[in-house]
Chains A and B, each alone.
Chain A
Amino acid sequence: MAHVIEIQHLQKQFGKFTALKDINLQLNEGEVLGFIGPNGAGKSTTIRTILGLIKPTAGQVQVFGQDAWQNAVTIHQQLAYVPGDVYLWPNLTGGQTIDLLLRMAKRTHNQRTDQLIQAFGLDVRKKNRTYSKGNRQKVALIAALAADVPLYIFDEPTSGLDPLNEMVFQQQVAQLKAQGRSILLSSHILSEVEKMGDQIAIIRQGEIIEAGSLAEMQHLTRNQVTVTTAKPMLELTQQAHVHQVHFKNQTKTSAEFLVADTAMNTVLSYLTQQQIQTLRTTPPTLEALFLRYYDTNQIKAGV
């Protein structure tokens, strides 16, 4: 499978400050890559090097097999981008801005543009100055989604959108994905990436700490189980692959714990013996994965 974006050992320094230490990242054709990390981890800086807005200090950034810095303009012909913080010329209206952005990418205002304006419910007659963050984001999203290109890059696209518009966005991304487009989606909202992403890369302090498919990643984590039983679960802690047991009462009939997928069967048969009354298992969230990573590292670091 061809790599739409391929980053190898990317480093970026601003003066003495190292923003990116060592970034390795691939976006495969037709896939959605969820790019997650906390604020200030280097997500936007990575995206800005992909777009050729800033020059790598070291390493390779290739988009469609071309160097991102050298061939920025050629690459831009085939991608659409929505920045994390959208700033628009205050004295233009939303409608004027959308038309301008489309034309600057040699595209035209067509039926799809109007559909998108309607779907997002944007009042295009208002001046950008009067728009909220979410509305400014909509302007950029509409201009980007109206483009017919193989690659879309969204930098925290829904941070200002309400849940309804967020859903509209997710539907649009699903459509693009169905059409075989490649999408880079950065976010610190993990559930968003989880819903849409095929591949996940986690960045922290300028380094990719984990990358892989969602299936691979989930393998690394554990289900959270909340259970109440009739008989006390005295032997629960001795069960294989059960972690972080926390009893909620003295009689040990109510508990919360983590268990790996592979051990679910044996643990469940034990719980059945104790006569299950209520049982809830939560699939692993990226939140848990993320927290787990931080926990282990902080423990290692002695924090």
Chain B
Amino acid sequence: MRQLLQSSLVLRANLRRDWIKILIWIIVLSGLFITVAAKFKTLYGTTAQIETIARTLRAPAMIALFGPVPKGGTLTTATIFATEMLIFWSLFLIICNLSLAINASRTQESAGLTELILGGYPVGRLAPLNAAALELTIVDGSFALITGLGTTLAAMPGSDLEGNWLFALTLAAVGWAFGMITLVFAQLVVDSHTANIYGYAFLGLAYVIRMLTDVQNSDWTWLSPLGWIEKSAIYTQNHWLPLGLLIVLGGGALILAFCLNAHRDSGTGILPEHAGHQRSRFLRGPLTLLLWQQRTTSLFWLLGLCLLGVSYGSIFDTLGQIVNQSPVVQQVLGTTGMHHLAHLQLLHFMNLLGVIFTVLASIAGTFCLNHLYTDERKGYLQLVHTRTITRARLYWVYLGFALVLTASLIFVALMGTMLAANQVLTQPLAFHYFAKVWLAMLPISWGFLAIAAVAIGWLLLGRQLIWFILGGSFVITYFGRLLNLPHWALNLSPFHWFDQIPLHTINISRSMAVLSFGLVVIVLGLIGYRHRDLQD
């Protein structure tokens, strides 16, 4: 195939560029997975412990988050592990593949690198795409190999060799399949930004379908490729069919991507671009420019989080059901008591939803804020900085927009939840509960953005640190109790400081402390931004 000529050369160049990123992904993804596997014996070693956690996981709320607990047969440490980790780790692998896929395909093409190697060197036309696909295969393959070996060494009670390898391979395959689908999106549109949006929109859709079907009727979960992995029944029946399906899906997507790539010009997308505006009435300064640039992305996020809220809200009636509905308990509590218990359960779940929404909204806000740095790096801002616009104004515009966007996203998600929940609940949840969650989460999300802002202000090397802080806080809160983390570790996550909201009133002094931290850090960032050299 002359079209694929020199793929290995391109691949080697790509790996040389990406190896640090790849190494970090594999270490984090495999390393954490194996660590949790090794620790699991001590957490859920006894039958009693397994019974307790299984009861928690069988609650519809938990099924919505983690997927269903295997029915029939005795539960073991390994099956609990599989239930808790499967969906969550798939998401991580998909995000890893998505980011690497866009980076190796559309980002390079927009930067003109693809043009350089295709135009000036004897490299096949499809070689860059082929190299991108190979890169993902290598990453996922390495993950599967390390994770398969690691979990086998961890030797959880109830695990078997087949299950260990099936688990590792399924996770790798779902990441790989989504990566290949992302490569298709990269052929459709002309910029990496839109390709990213398509990729994440597809992931969001797959996740929501999985969640809704899992809670209602898990037969329908086959509709979502993210649901297929649940059908593997790891450590119980060990079905290999889903793995095969994922490979077929990914392979099909890759073939489609090749066909699309072969039929388009270099540097263009399949979807046509229309001639644009000759004049602009709207654009008049940094703020309108940012609004214009971010309008599609922001709408996408707003709509996405609203839908996510609605989908969580629509299962609130099922979530409120008490798992232990034995007659004795019902008799002791009475109908009102039962309602009260269900109510408490829902309020507790709302806190967790608040955390999820806040993390997603903070990611969106940070993406937006990071444009202050990337636009400078790419040279777009050199024409702004030499106009009559102060650096302080530019900083506040980007930061202000990010803060407002984040706040709106959390609010929209919570409102979506409320509207949908009150449609299905017999006893509606009052607005003030949702408002309380919002007020409690706002300072936290702004604190995250402040950290991102100070990194840009001072050009800190730790610009990526925010992702670790965000991810870490999320993992601690989401997984903390399931992993029996000690109190001090839970306290590392700011979400834990407000984990009693909306059940209790907000601790104002705590909120104030978080807010003042944010403000100080933001001002520090401003000082840095005003006094540093701008990048060329």
Contact = CB atoms under 8 A, between A and B. Distances in A.
Interface string B115-151: 0000000000000000000000000000000000000
A99 interface: yes
B16 interface: no
Contact of A87 (B285, B379, B388): B379
A81 interface: yes
Contact of B378 (A81, A87, A109): A87
Nearest to B194: A91
B380 A88 contact: yes
Report, as a range, how many residues of chain A touch the other chain. Answer: 35 or more
A53 B382 contact: yes
A100 B533 contact: no
The 9 closest A-B pairs by CB, nearest first: A87-B379, A93-B276, A54-B533, A96-B280, A100-B283, A104-B387, A103-B284, A99-B280, A95-B278
Contacts of A14: 533
A20 B7 CA distance: 43
A87 B381 CA distance: 8
Contacts of B534: 48, 53-54
Nearest to B385: A53
B99 interface: no
B275 interface: yes
A124 B389 contact: no
Given A53-B386, A96-B283, 19 more contacts: A14-B533, A48-B536, A53-B382, A53-B534, A73-B388, A73-B389, A76-B387, A76-B388, A77-B388, A79-B386, A83-B383, A87-B380, A92-B280, A92-B283, A92-B292, A96-B280, A101-B383, A104-B286, A105-B388
Interface stretch (A1-9, A34-42, A125-133, A160-168): A125-133
A86 B99 CA distance: 28
Nearest to B392: A73
Nearest to B383: A101
Nearest to A69: B531
B382 A55 contact: no
Interface of B is mostly: loop
B280 A100 contact: yes
A81 B387 CA distance: 9
Interface in B237-291: 273, 275-280, 283-286, 288-289
Contact of A100 (B284, B375, B385, B536): B284
Contact of B277 (A48, A89, A95, A140): A95
Contacts of A92: 276, 280, 283, 292
> Which of B375, B378, B382 has most A Cβ within 10 Å?
B382
A4 to B, nearest CB: 16
B425 interface: no
A105 B280 CA distance: 15
A171 to B, nearest CB: 24
A77 B388 CA distance: 6
Nearest to A139: B383
Contact of A83 (B278, B286, B382, B390): B382
A93 B283 contact: no
Given A91-B293, A93-B277, A99 B388 contact: no
Nearest to B193: A91
A73 B379 contact: no
25 contacts: A48-B534, A51-B386, A53-B386, A55-B531, A73-B390, A76-B387, A77-B388, A85-B379, A86-B379, A87-B379, A87-B382, A90-B191, A92-B276, A93-B277, A95-B279, A100-B285, A100-B288, A101-B383, A103-B283, A104-B388, A105-B387, A109-B279, A125-B275, A126-B275, A127-B276
Contacts of A51: 385-386
Nearest to A77: B388
B305 to A, nearest CB: 23
Interface of B: 110, 190-191, 273, 275-280, 283-286, 288-289, 292-293, 375, 378-380, 382-390, 531, 533-534, 536
A44 interface: yes
B300 to A, nearest CB: 15
A106 interface: yes
Interface of A: 14, 44, 48, 51, 53-55, 73, 76-77, 79, 81, 83, 85-93, 95-96, 99-101, 103-106, 109, 124-127, 129-130, 140, 143
Contacts of B390: 73
Contact of A89 (B380, B385, B387): B380
A279 to B, nearest CB: 46
A154 to B, nearest CB: 12
Nearest to B390: A73
B285 A104 contact: yes
Nearest to B273: A127
Nearest to A80: B386
Contacts of A90: 110, 191
B276 A89 contact: no
> Which of B275, B279, B292, B387 has most A Cβ within 10 Å?
B387
A130 B288 CA distance: 23
Contacts of A105: 387-388
Contact of A96 (B275, B276, B389): B276
Given A89-B380, A95-B277, A127-B276, A106 B191 contact: no
Given A54-B534, A55-B531, A96-B283, A125 B276 contact: yes
Contacts of B382: 53, 83, 87
B278 A100 contact: no
B244 to A, nearest CB: 41
Contacts of B277: 93, 95-96, 125
A73 B110 CA distance: 33
A81 B276 contact: no
A143 B387 CA distance: 11
B282 to A, nearest CB: 8
A81 B386 contact: yes
A89 B386 contact: no
A93 B379 CA distance: 17
B378 A96 contact: no
A44 B535 CA distance: 12
A290 to B, nearest CB: 25
B293 A89 contact: yes
